[in-house]
Chain A
Amino acid sequence: MSEQQHITLPEGSIERQTQTLNLGPTHPATHGVFQNILEIDGERIVSSESTVGYIHRAFEKIAERRPYYQITPLTDRLNYCSSPINNMGWHLTVEKLLGVKTPKRVDYMRVVIMELARITDHLICNGVVGVDTGAFTGFLYLMKHREVAYEVYEEICGSRLTTNIGRVGGFERNFTPAVFEKLEKFLKEFPVALKEFESLMTRNRIFMERTQGVGAISAERALNYGFTGPNLRAAGVDYDVRVAQPYSSYEDFEFTIPVGTTGDCYDRFLVRNAEMWESLSIIRQALDKMKTLPSDVWHADVPAYYLPEKSDVYTKMEALIYHFKIIMGESDILPGELYNPVEGANGELGYYLISDGGRSPYRLHFRRPCFIYYQAYAELVKGAMLSDAIICMSSLNLIAGELDA
């Protein structure tokens, strides 16, 4: 990009004035409800200010009055492109507080679901980067397979977008044979589509010229701005919570952390694509590992926290007691304070939980990755063209639900 050439013009003439442009809050190109007030000189951005909070729903406050198991549906609505990761993150946080140890099979089931969610999140983000650069086809190739992933969620928990999947201690029911069939279908068909997508985009001259050097950030600035996840890795820092602080038995898996060098939109795109391949490999490894374990385990043996089967509630005394205690919030929750992060699809999703021993948290704070890195947007687009600002926004993977909590 060359510097803009100014011709000397008399003061006050129209070409020397900057204009204000409202990008959002309901502009289709923002892919969510947030507003950017841009000061533009022709097509070049002089400065910008972001306004967030349009869909703030006070989850942290609501959580202070809810029993732990009713907070899971709130986490769905953070990053709604990959709700299962948020759900699992919350379960893992509560399990850490309660000291619940989950069986290996539960860990692997969770890994399968979390990596599936990571793929669905990345495919939307990368697909949308393509859409914003004018390539709609790639997006459709990938979207077709998100449907299969959503059918897997549906088979496990009954819902598709806001999943509320799993429970504290494990899953609500075992994976049915249909889950494995659908997973196999996904593992067979998705790589073909992803390969097709990559051959369409990755070395595409137009796409490369639109994304290379756009919205670049150095590793130092990215760290200072609190970047995490693929955006930080694109800048060259190999930080991944799955490796740095393994949870849910991620230490049992072989995978690499793809990193970029320049931190621009193109590198972010490449990192996400590479992560999808890694996730596919992790799902395959997890399914193989599950075959060696007894197939009738889908939750930890913690009757005080894990809801018993309904048929047992009607026929067994202990099950009825535990069911009553859990629903009425009489289970003992230990006082404690912890911060538990998981690797969300767009960065480190952290739960800062303070329990005073009551039936709901004393304080719950969500560390939402995109809220923290979105503040770098003004710096990323300064001096860029208006059309670059759009690509920069979609390649950051901003999700309005997570931004506003």
Chain B
Amino acid sequence: MSLTSDYIKQRLAEKFGESISQVEESFGTLSFAAPKDLNLKVMQFLYDDEELQFRFLTDLTAVHYPERKGEELAVVYHLYNFRERVRLRLKVYTSVEDPKVFTATKLYESANWMERETYDFFGVEFVGHPNLKRILNVDEMTYFPMRKEFPLEDQSRVDKDDEMFGRGGHIGI
């Protein structure tokens, strides 16, 4: 038996109906979005189901889309089925004002640090996480640096004339 995208889509539609959205397949990976209060139910279903068996959390991260009002932050889960060698991408959108998403640590131990990292950089608050604090940045930090409102410095700015390092007006001299 091989696990096809169509079959996964069908099973998800049977179980969750209309709540599964943005179903698309790009570069051989099926991707879909679920409402944020259903993320654990979807993952549990994918884990428990005898035929789906997505039992490995490969990766967990977030993406910030400032222009999508009400769903600025997307938490992205990559799940993997070892038996059929199939990868799946699950996205959960949340607003930046109330970035609360249920934690996956009950299901996957590996989610612990990955959720801490996601909190550290995007400020997604994982409800129920046992130890949600910053992991790579300093504890005193008050902002979430991977959000798009913190752009990196423009390399071609000219107002900052730094004699020692040849910045700004000194480029190429």
Contact = CB atoms under 8 A, between A and B. Distances in A.
Interface of A: 52-53, 56, 58, 60-62, 64-65, 96-97, 221, 223-226, 237, 239, 244-245, 336-341, 348, 350, 352, 354, 362-363, 365, 367, 371-376, 404-405
Nearest to B76: A352
Given A52-B135, A224-B109, A224-B110, A338 B145 contact: no
A217 to B, nearest CB: 11
Given A61-B152, A338-B29, A365-B59, A53 B136 contact: yes
B146 A61 contact: yes
Contacts of B55: 223
Given A60-B146, A352-B76, A65 B58 contact: no
A371 B138 CA distance: 17
A307 B149 CA distance: 33
A345 B131 CA distance: 30
B114 interface: yes
Given A52-B136, A61-B150, A239-B82, 4 more contacts: A53-B136, A350-B58, A372-B113, A375-B112
- 8 tightest Cβ-Cβ pairs between the two chains A and B: A226-B110, A53-B136, A338-B27, A56-B136, A65-B152, A367-B59, A365-B61, A375-B113
B27 A225 contact: no
Interface string B9-25: 00000000000000000
A373 B57 CA distance: 12
B59 A375 contact: no
A367 B110 CA distance: 12
B108 A224 contact: yes
Contacts, number: 93
Contact of B145 (A61, A226, A348): A61
A404 B136 contact: yes
A258 to B, nearest CB: 18
B85 interface: yes
A371 B113 contact: yes
Contacts of A404: 136
Contacts of A244: 82, 85
A31 B29 CA distance: 37
Contact of B61 (A96, A348, A352, A373): A352
A62 B152 contact: yes
28 contacts: A52-B136, A53-B137, A56-B137, A61-B146, A61-B152, A65-B151, A221-B109, A225-B110, A226-B109, A237-B82, A244-B82, A337-B26, A339-B29, A339-B58, A339-B59, A339-B89, A350-B58, A352-B59, A352-B61, A352-B76, A352-B78, A363-B63, A363-B64, A365-B59, A367-B59, A367-B78, A373-B110, A404-B136
Contacts of A348: 58
Interface of B: 26-27, 29, 31, 55-59, 61, 63-64, 76, 78, 82, 85, 87, 89, 108-110, 112-114, 117, 121, 134-138, 145-146, 150-152, 155
Nearest to B27: A338
Contacts of A372: 110, 113-114
Contacts of B63: 354, 362-363
Contacts of A61: 145-146, 150, 152
A225 B85 contact: no
A16 to B, nearest CB: 28
A58 B117 CA distance: 12
A337 to B, nearest CB: 6
A346 B150 CA distance: 33
A337 B31 contact: yes
A226 B57 contact: yes
Contacts of A62: 152
Contacts of A336: 26-27
Contacts of B57: 226
B122 to A, nearest CB: 11
A365 B122 CA distance: 13
A404 B110 CA distance: 16
Contacts of A56: 136-137
A226 B29 contact: no
A41 to B, nearest CB: 23
Given A339-B59, A354-B63, A375 B85 contact: no
A12 B152 CA distance: 55
A39 to B, nearest CB: 16
B21 to A, nearest CB: 16
Nearest to A338: B27
A375 B109 contact: yes
A357 to B, nearest CB: 14
A99 B116 CA distance: 34
A34 to B, nearest CB: 11
A374 B146 CA distance: 23
Nearest to A62: B152
B160 to A, nearest CB: 16
Q: Which of A60, A97, A221 counts the most B-chain CB atoms under 10 A from its CB?
A: A60
Nearest to A335: B26
Contacts of A373: 110
A60 B64 CA distance: 13
